[in-house]
Each structure stands twice: as structure tokens, then as C-alpha cells.
Amino acid sequence: MLRTPFKTIKGSFSMNFGDLNDNLLSELSFDEASEIMGGFTVTNNSGSTRGFYNFGQSVLPQQQVLQPGQSGSYNGEYILYNSSTTQFKPALSQELGATDTVNFTLEGDTVVVAKPGSTIGILSIPASS
């Protein structure tokens, strides 16, 4: 068991790193750091519930649901969602960075994933017959 001397000072603490074994310290990998930091942020400004999948190179697709006005942070690089309010039209967002913020918005019957002030390109995936 590692014992670390520390003292509390009104809700904070300090400790002496000189007492720690250097072999116990290591730099976080990109994946480990992204788990702590979270990923891109999505806000649902479409006026209705939006379901979507977030995924990426090292993130398996995960189903998400956002209620109107709700926000969440997600890992991965892409969002797969239905871009139509009247039929099934799957669409894929452009690649998103870990610090990007995007919104689901509604333009007529089309659901768009957009950065504030601009539209992120949409790739529609043809539905198989």
C-alpha cells in the first residue's frame, strides 16, 4: 500500500511527490486521456428527441439519446444519425475533434449537425431497398 503524506487546507490538499516511487508514475495514453477529458460536445436544438451513434477509430459505436435542449460529451470522431424527420435517411457527420461543439438543428424536414455559426458537411447514406 502506498502511503502519501498530505495535509488538508480548507478543501484542498498538498502532497510531497518526492516520497512517491517514480515507477508508479506514467504518462496517460491518448485513449486514457480522452476518457478523462471527454470528447466532442453535442447539444440538441432540433426541438425533438434525437437518437444517434457516436464512434471512432478507437471507440465502438454507442447509441445515445438527447432530449430537446440537452447536451452531452461523447468520445469518437463521428456521429451517425437520421437526417430526416419524415423518413429513414442515415447521415454521417464530418470528422469531429475532441474539443468540437456541435448542435442538432432542424431545417425544414432535415436534421443537421452544425457547429455554431456554420454547417458541418453531411454525408447521406443511401437506404437499401
Domain-embedded: residue 5: no
Domain-embedded: residue 64: yes
Give the three cell numbers for residue 67.
432530449
Give the three cell numbers for residue 28.
496517460
Run means of pLDDT, 10 residues per run, the chain, 129 residues: 51 57 61 60 95 93 96 94 95 90 93 74 48
What is the domain count for the chain? 1
| Closest-CA residue to 39 (of 114, 115, 97) | 97
Instruction: Give the pLDDT score at 116.
Output: 77
Instruction: Give the pLDDT score at 98.
Output: 85
E strands within the chain?
A: 6-9, 12-15, 40-44, 50-56, 59-66, 71-74, 78-82, 90-93, 101-107, 110-115, 118-119, 122-124
Q: What is the dihedral of CA 29, 31, 32, 34, to 10 degrees?
A: 120
- DSSP 8-state secondary structure symbol assigned to residue 57: T
Domain-embedded: residue 106: yes
Domain-embedded: residue 4: no
Model pTM? 0.64
Domain-embedded: residue 110: yes
Q: How many Cα atoms occupy the beta-carbon half-sphere of 110 within 13 Å?
A: 9
Give the three cell numbers for residue 41.
460536445
Give the structural domain span for 51: 40-129
Domain-embedded: residue 81: yes
The helix/strand/coil state of 9 is strand
Instruction: Give the pLDDT score at 50.
Output: 96
Domain-embedded: residue 60: yes
Domain-embedded: residue 47: yes
